[in-house]
Structure 1
């Protein structure tokens, strides 16, 4: 009986073994073309689409105030280069020193729904309403180079740029030291920048805060020259068109371009810039440092135009939801004739 049972089990096992190994593998189920993709691939595609969306380039709208000087051209180039290096899509519009054009550019950025708006304002005043429009559109704002005079500072995230007041202070301290042994009235001519602009206001205030310590130092002539070489040349001519005993002994120019124009007018008048008239400027362009090395300029206060990298980093930080300081200032220096030769070759503008 046991042998019969073993025989039946053996036949059954043999049959099962042949069914598993003969006739090839059972055909795989046919998948319909219209059927959904396997879950793993579907999940991967969803993740990739989300990643692509997250990595969409930041769009930055930049309202540049103009192209009035070598400093401004270097500033624009720095922003453009930094945007390209950072992978940020930059939309830049030049206002040609017109606040009206800046407002037009900003409204176009709002319509484009850019991610961040940066503004280099022509003048300090008149920004409250347009900044409120930007805020209502939900677009963060960065103020570059200059400042805006608004009561509600929440209308912008941060300001990136020089301490313009301190630049005036540095110019004033240099002059006090330079003229420490001079006696009698010291007449100072001042070439202001664009009227109402932050550099013109703050550099002038900083300079005055220092020379006020010397009663014999008097600003006898002060006229806006719009930060341009041509206007600097023209206004300086008028400064010198006075009797010799009323001519200035010092010129404080709010930027290099005006100083360079003024130097030409000083030479036209038969005077030696840097000797007959002490010339102090602000910016630190290569051309100004060359004149400093040649002795035609006496001191140049540095104002760094290369703000592009800081602006791009700020845009990234803002889009990542991080908090930024309300003001960011780059390190800067003052150059004298003794140092001019060593720094002129290092200048990028």
Structure 2
């Protein structure tokens, strides 16, 4: 991005009463905004960093890719947020929804797709992910895609829904990384074996979705006409071992991954309204120990009865780490774990 330090008014467009002065974007009232276009950003996962100084009011909105990707009660401080851009435009925007104050030192950097950052994945499970032929694939929908020239062509989606899937791939209850390459931005749903995810923003290039299998089938769908009219290639499905915290209902309730500007410590930022994450645990018995690190310090709780099933992670405003085990901890383990959790808090 250009002129993130607001040395001048170049590269930024002002809305309503917003101004640039004193090396900062100044927002005074609702709908005051500053924006600029970031070429190639639609659908990309980005680290958005900025400093805010609040003089009054509360809520600040960040738009990326033409969509609201973050809105919270912004207090004075430094923010580093991992956000996915929408696919509508290539615009970055800071807009007041009640916040009055300044925004400065803005930085936007792209982050590698999830598939490039996970390790320890299982073997490849997709058949003919390079689309060398139609073998292994089932196409469906009002306007089914076609498999030609080493890719799945969704240009027919302009006329209606288009679906692409293969069966016998996943085991229900396990987690899988589904990755695929798109020729252009848009929106796609990933089949989970029993249904579909909501419409996910995809970028031109590699895209990844972490899904919990409800059945054996995997695939993608453009559920409404015009959602995705490009081509898909290099389709991959690999199991992700372990147990994973997830938000199974609605992405609007998902905490945001953020970073402390001073210490560099990463945490989950909870909006303290309706965000939550759930992990599916086995039966841990009647003497389990649960621990976490948050903005208030370190918590270790022993002697807990934790049965099999879903358990919500602590709803702390800043959650740095979480863990659980099916037994009591020794004194040495408690001391070592406490030190580790404080390290996770950046101390």
Q: TM-score, normalising length from structure 2?
A: 0.27
Relative to its length, the structure with more helix (as a share) is 1
Higher relative contact order (CA 8 A, sep 6+): 1
- The structure with the larger Rg is 1
Q: TM-score, normalising length from structure 1?
A: 0.26
